[in-house]
Structure 1
Amino acid sequence: MSKPLICLCLTAPTVKQDLALIEKYRPYIDLVELRVDLLDDDEKLDIREFPSRANFPCILTIRRTVDGGKFSEGEASRSMLFARALAFASEDSSKNFAYVDFEEDFHISSLEDAAMAYGTKIIRSFHDMKNPLPSIAEKLKSMHTSHYEIPKIAFMPHSLKDVSDMYREMQQFKDSDQIVCAMGGLGLPTRILAQRFHSYLSYTSPAEPDLILSDIGHTDPKTLEEVYNFHEIDEDTALFGITGFPLKYTSSPSMQNAFFRHENKNAVYIPFKAEKASEAFEFAETLGIRGFSVTIPHKEDIIKHLQKTDKKVSRIGACNTVVNEDGIWAGYNTDCTGFAKALLEFTGLKHLRGKKIAIIGAGGAAKAIAFAIKDLGGKACVFNRTLAKAKMLAERFGFKYTSLGLESVEILREYSDIIVQTTSMGMGSTEESNDQNDPLWFYDFSGEELLYDIVYKPETTPIMARAAKSGCKVQNGYTMLQYQGEEQFRLFKTAL
């Protein structure tokens, strides 16, 4: 099988817009898919000339609603559209559609003959928009009936385990052409690692919010190529990544892959979301991943799957970095190092002696932060909605603890020299402060507090905006991410 291709799904409502998308993404793509079902009705009449106007290899697709598309007018109308697009084929094959996508149950001999007569390859597709496929290998073998057809299977995984199972089954198809992908956020690794999953191509869509097919897990071609080095991935590429759930926002792939490129390492760092830490380990072992970052909510649960931990993990009770060291899974914590460096830079201090600090939250990140504060000589109080978790964390480091609510305002004022927000509240939120995106919605900032929020997307979280409006000095968590990421990269390099 040749190296996989990047295919841009053209999702605009007009041909003119689709042609503009081709020009925008031309440096990153190998072919395009004209999604006729997404075009306005009057635009569908112009599809025959599209390949010559695009001057690019094109897949003709008219996707039915049952398969995740928008075409609902019936098979007779769809057949006529296919016929119109394939008719009057040119002897110059570049002016014809290079591929046409027919579903597994769609067999119109006249259309198939027209495609084959002029060199248009048939992609024979199967979609399950709701469920995983029990036996991908068995299904693919039944679909590999002609060298002229390329089987395509796309399904919706329910867990990362479904993706691990898919990888194992696909290892018997190294020498054949097929298109496979798991859809949704769980399936992103199958798109980035199309080469390892032995897929002929990887589907992408435009980055524009109204055009990207994010509901089925698409990324844009520029990201696939510039962040993940898609075309450079081969059998020797070392795999690294980040796991967590829901893992909607992470800048770690951009950062870590930039590190690998800077040092000319044949390696790629990918996101793989897992609802359970055990599924992340199964995926890592199945694909041969050499190291990965760990984020919410697995920083504590991941420890029980490790054979070795450093002293910081043992003292903190949380792990954010896992490295395979000669077959042994070893755990490290770089959050504490990254936070300490970022906080001192933010505050302009050399230590925290004499400072009273509020730690908001008691999860895995809060544990590393509490360790760093203790190490820097600060006194702290842990504020958390679940008092038992606050107590457990506080007692580990000799700190005070209390509930997170209006009843604790006076204690919060006492420990307000520096407020460190460690929860995920506010992540991805562009709304004004409320009780759903601001953990301190009940607290009136005086303007004297220093606020450090470990969330970095958005750049200014609701609590940061509110604190800054009161005159407080504020900082998001990107510097912490950067510094702890540098430490992670040093650990990952030992696994190369």
Structure 2
Amino acid sequence: MERPKICLTLTGTTIRENLETLDKYRDKIDMAELRVDYLNTDERLYVRRFPSLIDVPCILTIRRQIDGGKFVEGEAARTVLFARALSFADEDKTRNFAYVDFEEDFHIPSLEDATLAFDTKVIRSFHDMHNPVSDIIGRLKKMTTSGFEIPKIAFMPHSLDDVTNLFREASKLRDNNHILLAMGPMGIPSRILGAKLKNFLTYTSSPESIGNTANIAHLDAVKLNELYRMKTINENTKIFGITGWPLTGTSSPELHNAGYTRHNMNSVYIPFPAENFDQAMSFAETVGVQGFSITVPHKEAVLEKANFISPEVLDIGASNTMVLKDDKWSCYNTDADGFARSLLEFTELKNLKHKKVAIIGAGGAAKAIAYAVYKAGGKACVFNRTLGKAKALAEKYDFEYGPLSAEGGKLLRKYSDIIIQTTSKGMHCKESSNAENDPLFFYEFSGKEILFDIIYMPEVTPVMARAKAAGCHVCNGYYMLRYQGYKQFELFTGDEY
């Protein structure tokens, strides 16, 4: 399996800016793409000399707006720019553009003749910025009119199934003379696992310019190299990951991939967001994922797909970890252990005996936490907006239950020694507390409560900020994340983190 080349897409507004960017990340890439459509108008006059100023092969791209670019002046003007950039070829081929990107419907005989004469390879591209492409093989055959061109298909998936189909179709290909990419956050696996797609290259951006490619979800060059170690991924690489929806801002790849680096393991941990768990399972089985973390809202749906369910999961009723062993899926729960360890460290308690604990929420995370509170000897009350769910969870452990509203305020006060917030409210939120981002907006903290919020992004959630201002001791879910991740790492690899 040949490793895809890493191509740095240069989207600066000046030649000098692009040269500085390339120089800064030169050790992380194999080639570059000059996006002429991003250059200031006067800078476009000097494109021809760009290849002679750098020491890597370069792709000449002038992307139209319809294909996700910024060029709007029309095809005549674009043709002239291509001609200027490709003209007066140097005998030293390294001083010419090594590649040029022509769209599937862009055929100018004089330009195509020039590429052949100057030994510039054509990337024949097709972009669908709104919809997926299902018949990948058929599309490639239509695009490949000669062995001198590299066909490229980039599309916007509607679901993880579209990405799964991309990998399924690519498995039928024998060579790496193509570029297949799914764009957007759901398409990130296609950028990391380009080797499995047999891609000729994968595109990346600099951290400083990543906003220019936010709509198609480029990974920056540092992340692609240092976090995902893309240059080391090969046919023997073990694939692990995390699924959930919408799966924004997870720190799990940082934790697991750092562990693989520390142990010198040929493994990678990637995100693959899935709206439903069937999509996640299909992706995992198609791509060859050997274990993955599960976050909201799939922690209960996973139970229907498991061949083996651990005793803890049977008691809890939710799983956050799946592992493939002997072609069978086993599910475990490391949330309970991670939570218990982090809470007891934070409170400096040996157990929760004689503590009245409020559990906010009744989802998959709350189920693991209720189990952990019960095992630690605490007395708890489960609060949830849907009272039936609170009742079902509470009755498993002979806990009380109540409404997550002002009507439950008195009961919440009774169980306020330790308040554990398990919902997603406040995640990625930097606003002040309100009814939309603070699940306890109706509750006035006395300052005596201990508040543990399992969210870790942001570091201080709106409810934490409000509790802290009242004098409460507060803690986020960062160490819970780490401790449950350490257990997952051991389940995935057989080694301690």
- The alignment's TM-score, normalised by the length of structure 1, stands at 0.97
Superposition pairs for residues 335-350 of structure 1, below 5 Å? 335-350=335-350
| Structure 1 residues 324-365: Cα deviation after superposition (integer angstroms, max 9, x where no partner) | 110111100000000000000011100000111111111101
Percent of residue pairs bearing the same amino acid type: 57
- Indicate conservation of the 8 Å contact 1:12/1:211, yes or no: no
Opposite residue 247 of structure 2, the aligned amino acid is L
- Indicate conservation of the 8 Å contact 1:212/1:218, yes or no: no
Shift of the 378–257 alpha-carbon distance from structure 1 to 2, 3 Å rule, reads: same
Opposite residue 114 of structure 2, the aligned amino acid is A
Opposite residue 157 of structure 2, the aligned amino acid is P
The SS at the match of 2:313 is helix
| Structure 1 residues 133-176: Cα deviation after superposition (integer angstroms, max 9, x where no partner) | 12001111222222221100001111111111111111122324
| Cα distance in 1, alignment partners of residues 9 and 493 from structure 2 | 36
Shift of 1:61: 0.7
Shift of 1:25: 1.8
Shift of 1:231: 0.6
Opposite residue 125 of structure 1, the aligned amino acid is S
| Structure 1 residues 226-254: Cα deviation after superposition (integer angstroms, max 9, x where no partner) | 11110101111111111111101111111
The SS at the match of 1:398 is coil
Mean alpha-carbon deviation: is it higher for 326-335 or for 198-207? Answer: 198-207
In the other structure, the counterpart of 2:160 is: 160
In the other structure, the counterpart of 1:305 is: 305
Shift of 1:116: 2.2
- Indicate conservation of the 8 Å contact 1:238/1:289, yes or no: yes
| Cα distance in 1, alignment partners of residues 411 and 386 from structure 2 | 17
| Cα distance in 1, alignment partners of residues 197 and 176 from structure 2 | 12
In the other structure, the counterpart of 1:36 is: 36
In the other structure, the counterpart of 2:265 is: 265
Opposite residue 405 of structure 1, the aligned amino acid is S
Shift of 1:46: 2.2
In the other structure, the counterpart of 1:236 is: 236
Superposition pairs for residues 304-453 of structure 1, below 5 Å? 304-453=304-453
| Cα distance in 2, alignment partners of residues 135 and 426 from structure 1 | 41
- Indicate conservation of the 8 Å contact 2:4/2:195, yes or no: yes
Opposite residue 26 of structure 1, the aligned amino acid is R
| Cα distance in 2, alignment partners of residues 2 and 93 from structure 1 | 24
The SS at the match of 1:354 is coil
The SS at the match of 1:216 is coil
The SS at the match of 2:8 is strand
| Structure 1 residues 292-321: Cα deviation after superposition (integer angstroms, max 9, x where no partner) | 110010001111111110011001000000
Superposition pairs for residues 16-55 of structure 1, below 5 Å? 16-55=16-55
| Cα distance in 1, alignment partners of residues 155 and 486 from structure 2 | 36
| Cα distance in 1, alignment partners of residues 442 and 43 from structure 2 | 54
- Indicate conservation of the 8 Å contact 2:134/2:165, yes or no: no
In the other structure, the counterpart of 1:490 is: 490
Opposite residue 36 of structure 1, the aligned amino acid is V
Shift of 1:284: 0.9
Opposite residue 161 of structure 1, the aligned amino acid is D
| Cα distance in 2, alignment partners of residues 4 and 313 from structure 1 | 40
| Cα distance in 2, alignment partners of residues 60 and 209 from structure 1 | 18
| Structure 1 residues 96-146: Cα deviation after superposition (integer angstroms, max 9, x where no partner) | 111110001001111112222222111000111111112001111222222
Opposite residue 49 of structure 2, the aligned amino acid is E
The SS at the match of 2:153 is strand
- Indicate conservation of the 8 Å contact 1:59/1:99, yes or no: yes
Shift of the 485–98 alpha-carbon distance from structure 1 to 2, 3 Å rule, reads: same
Shift of 1:16: 2.4
Shift of the 11–237 alpha-carbon distance from structure 1 to 2, 3 Å rule, reads: same
| Structure 1 residues 356-392: Cα deviation after superposition (integer angstroms, max 9, x where no partner) | 1111111101100110001000111111111111111
Opposite residue 37 of structure 1, the aligned amino acid is D
In the other structure, the counterpart of 1:72 is: 72
In the other structure, the counterpart of 2:471 is: 471
In the other structure, the counterpart of 2:181 is: 181
- Indicate conservation of the 8 Å contact 2:339/2:369, yes or no: yes
Opposite residue 151 of structure 2, the aligned amino acid is P
| Cα distance in 1, alignment partners of residues 476 and 212 from structure 2 | 28
Shift of 1:209: 6.7
Superposition pairs for residues 239-250 of structure 1, below 5 Å? 239-250=239-250
Mean alpha-carbon deviation: is it higher for 141-150 or for 237-246? Answer: 141-150
Superposition pairs for residues 121-140 of structure 1, below 5 Å? 121-140=121-140
The SS at the match of 2:274 is coil
- Indicate conservation of the 8 Å contact 1:212/1:220, yes or no: no
Structure 2 residue runs of 5 or longer lacking an equivalent are: none
The SS at the match of 2:207 is coil
Shift of the 316–129 alpha-carbon distance from structure 1 to 2, 3 Å rule, reads: same
In the other structure, the counterpart of 1:222 is: 222
- The alignment's TM-score, normalised by the length of structure 2, stands at 0.97
- Indicate conservation of the 8 Å contact 1:337/1:484, yes or no: yes
The SS at the match of 1:105 is coil
- Indicate conservation of the 8 Å contact 2:334/2:488, yes or no: yes
| Cα distance in 2, alignment partners of residues 42 and 390 from structure 1 | 65
- Indicate conservation of the 8 Å contact 2:170/2:198, yes or no: yes
Opposite residue 141 of structure 1, the aligned amino acid is K
Shift of 1:494: 4.1
Shift of the 6–393 alpha-carbon distance from structure 1 to 2, 3 Å rule, reads: same
| Structure 1 residues 246-268: Cα deviation after superposition (integer angstroms, max 9, x where no partner) | 10111111111111121121111
- Indicate conservation of the 8 Å contact 2:134/2:166, yes or no: no
Shift of 1:19: 1.9
- Indicate conservation of the 8 Å contact 2:161/2:279, yes or no: yes
The SS at the match of 2:126 is strand
Shift of 1:491: 0.5
| Cα distance in 2, alignment partners of residues 27 and 443 from structure 1 | 54
In the other structure, the counterpart of 2:200 is: 200
Shift of 1:212: 4.3
The SS at the match of 1:290 is strand
- Indicate conservation of the 8 Å contact 2:385/2:405, yes or no: yes
Shift of the 209–49 alpha-carbon distance from structure 1 to 2, 3 Å rule, reads: closer
The SS at the match of 2:25 is helix
Shift of the 16–435 alpha-carbon distance from structure 1 to 2, 3 Å rule, reads: farther
| Cα distance in 1, alignment partners of residues 101 and 443 from structure 2 | 58
The SS at the match of 2:208 is coil
| Structure 1 residues 188-234: Cα deviation after superposition (integer angstroms, max 9, x where no partner) | 11110000011111111222376341221211111011111101011
- Indicate conservation of the 8 Å contact 2:210/2:218, yes or no: no
